[in-house]
Amino acid sequence: MSRKRLLWQLYPSYLAITLLALVAIAIYSSNAFKQLFYEQTLSELTHSARLVSQIILGSNAWSEKTIDAICKQAAQNSSKRITVILPDGVVIGDSEEDPGLMENHAERPEVSEALEGSVGIATRHSRTLGKDMTYAAIPLYKNDKVAAVVRTSMPTRSLSEVMSSLYAGIALEAVLLAILVAAMLLVISRKIIKPLEKIRIGARKFLEGDLSYRLRVHGSDEVKALATTMNQMAAELQERIERLKQMENTRREFVANVSHELKTPITSIKGFAETLRDGALDDPSRAKQFLEIIASHAERISNIIEDLLHLSRIEQVHEVQQIPLERSAIREMLESAILMCETKASEKKITLELSCDAGLTALINPALLEQAVVNLIDNAIKYSAEGGKVFIEAKDDASGMRISVRDSGVGIPQEHLSRIFERFYRVDKGRSRKLGGTGLGLAIVKHIVAVHNGHVSVESTVGQGSKFTIRLPAE
């Protein structure tokens, strides 16, 4: 297991901090307890001393014998020793010894303190008993004078015995608590680290290309936010890759289409040129016919290339910068478009009808939009029978400007409607080509309308006609 793992970085420091706190609490509480116990002992000793002095004062006979008896009796059933000392240091009563055999106590610090009128306290080794003792001595007043000192004492050992058993208890509990805390900390640390581990696994999946994988992480807000961001990142990346793939497909398709479109006329030109070279030139009438065919195919190639250039120019400008739009009269723009198609229409005896209020204006690029309308009218003429009518209409309402071109021509089968705006897409290839179409007209319309942030749509019924509508957004 790597020592760099977050768990092994977090866990020991957590543990150290907790154990340190535990030890500090244990030391502090045992010290506090020791102090408390000591004070308790002293107050008990002084209390007993007071009781004894009251008994002595209460007893009428003030003799060494009675006092010694009082001491011996008061100390029964108690671990305390009681001693009464005269101001000159002579012991006159003791619960455990014969006072007559005891040395002078005037020099004992607690006794001399009591003789001065305060409560004397001391802890020291008793030579009489051979043990460490704690002493409390109080003065006994008779006629406002210190007549004696009552001293109580207790072996210090009983105090330290209590303390050491207490220490053992505290230590045991601290150890148990430490084990419990260590286990809990391990669980908690694991819980904190687990979501990170999940995130790592997710990141790995993303790296391996599985961008549809989604992180599901429950944890702190920060970790959840991280997971959400990573999910969003993956989604965004996936979308971009998808878009790139699509673009690449479109491009490949486009190149294939262009090559295919150019191949037919070029093959024809090559074929007729070879026929001419190989002898057909000698037959002037055939030669002229072939040359005309060659010229028409060359014209077709030129048309295709011109349309493609046109399309790519619009695309490029649209990508690089905003195409300038200006407030322009719609009617004028439509009239100009109609004029462009007049010759073609009259060749097929088709009438073009315009319905547009003179005052209508919109934010447009007039030259581009005119080109789009020309393409629509051109189609309407191309795919209508002789003598038909084409209606060009413009209307303005709250949702924006609508320009429509309606014919009563051949119509478009439903299944082709969604695709006719694609480059080179034609419903009937043979027929369209015969009519000189390359399938780029509607693609150009779509681009121009997009430049205007608009939308172009088509409704059509086979045999009845088609209606193309350009919608420009309201300003």
Ligand X SMILES: Nc1ncnc2c1ncn2[C@@H]1O[C@H](COP(=O)(O)OP(=O)(O)OP(=O)(O)O)[C@@H](O)[C@H]1O
Contact with ligand X (CB under 6 A): which of 426, 447, 452, 471?
426
In the bound complex, what is the minimum distance in angstroms from residue 204's beta carbon to ligand X?
48
Q: Which is nearer to Mg ion, 269 or 445 (CB)?
A: 445
In the bound complex, what is the minimum distance in angstroms from residue 296's beta carbon to ligand X?
14
Q: Which is nearer to ligand X, 94 or 378 (CB)?
A: 378
Q: Which is nearer to Mg ion, 81 or 426 (CB)?
A: 426
Region of 126-134, 310-318, 355-363, 422-430 interacting with ligand X (CB under 6 A): 422-430
In the bound complex, what is the minimum distance in angstroms from residue 378's beta carbon to Mg ion?
5
DSSP 464: T
Contact call for residue 432 and ligand X (CB under 6 A):
yes
Contact call for residue 439 and ligand X (CB under 6 A):
yes
Region of 7-15, 176-184, 191-199, 435-443 interacting with ligand X (CB under 6 A): 435-443
DSSP 439: S
Contact call for residue 139 and ligand X (CB under 6 A):
no
Contact call for residue 95 and ligand X (CB under 6 A):
no
Q: Which is nearer to Mg ion, 71 or 448 (CB)?
A: 448
In angstroms, the first-to-last Cα distance of the chain is 66
For residue 39, what are its two tokens?
A: 């004070």
Nearest to 334, CA basis, from 473, 470, 474, 447: 470
- As beta bridge partners, residue 392 has 354, 405
Q: Which is nearer to ligand X, 159 or 392 (CB)?
A: 392
The Cα-based distances of 297 to 8, 266, 441 in angstroms read 79, 7, 19
What is the rounded CA–CA span in Å between residue 123 and residue 79?
Answer: 16
Q: Which is nearer to Mg ion, 153 or 379 (CB)?
A: 379
Query: Maximum CA pair distance of the chain?
Result: 174
Cβ-contact 468, 405 below 8 angstroms: yes
The Cα-based distances of 309 to 24, 77, 266 in angstroms read 84, 121, 19
In the bound complex, what is the minimum distance in angstroms from residue 471's beta carbon to Mg ion?
20
Task: Select from Mg ion, ligand X, none the partner in contact with residue 420, using the beta carbon and a kind-dependent cut-off of 5 to 8 Å.
Answer: ligand X
In the bound complex, what is the minimum distance in angstroms from residue 326's beta carbon to ligand X?
27
Q: Which is nearer to ligand X, 110 or 407 (CB)?
A: 407
What is the rounded CA–CA span in Å between residue 92 and residue 380?
Answer: 141
Residues 6+ apart with CB under 8 A from 102: 91, 94, 128
| 400 φ/ψ sector (left φ>0, alpha ψ -120 to 50, else beta) | left
Contact call for residue 440 and ligand X (CB under 6 A):
yes
Interface with Mg ion (CB under 5 A): 379, 441
Task: Select from Mg ion, ligand X, none the partner in contact with residue 407, using the beta carbon and a kind-dependent cut-off of 5 to 8 Å.
Answer: ligand X
Cβ-contact 39, 46 below 8 angstroms: no
In the bound complex, what is the minimum distance in angstroms from residue 270's beta carbon to ligand X?
23
Which residue type does 189 have?
A: S
In the bound complex, what is the minimum distance in angstroms from residue 357's beta carbon to Mg ion?
28
What is the rounded CA–CA span in Å between residue 207 and residue 185?
Answer: 33
Contact call for residue 410 and ligand X (CB under 6 A):
yes
Contact call for residue 377 and ligand X (CB under 6 A):
no
Q: Residue 163: count other Cβ atoms within 10 Å of its Cβ.
A: 15
| Chain residues 317-376 in contact with ligand X, contact rule CB under 6 A | 375
Contact call for residue 420 and ligand X (CB under 6 A):
yes
Chain length of the chain: 475
In the bound complex, what is the minimum distance in angstroms from residue 358's beta carbon to Mg ion?
29
Torsional sign, CA 367, 368, 371, 372: negative
Q: Which is nearer to ligand X, 134 or 432 (CB)?
A: 432
What is the rounded CA–CA span in Å between residue 314 and residue 308?
Answer: 10
Residue in the block written with tokens 């084990």: 179
Q: Which residues bind ligand X (CB under 6 A)?
A: 307, 375, 379-380, 382-383, 407, 409-412, 420, 425-428, 432, 437-443, 466
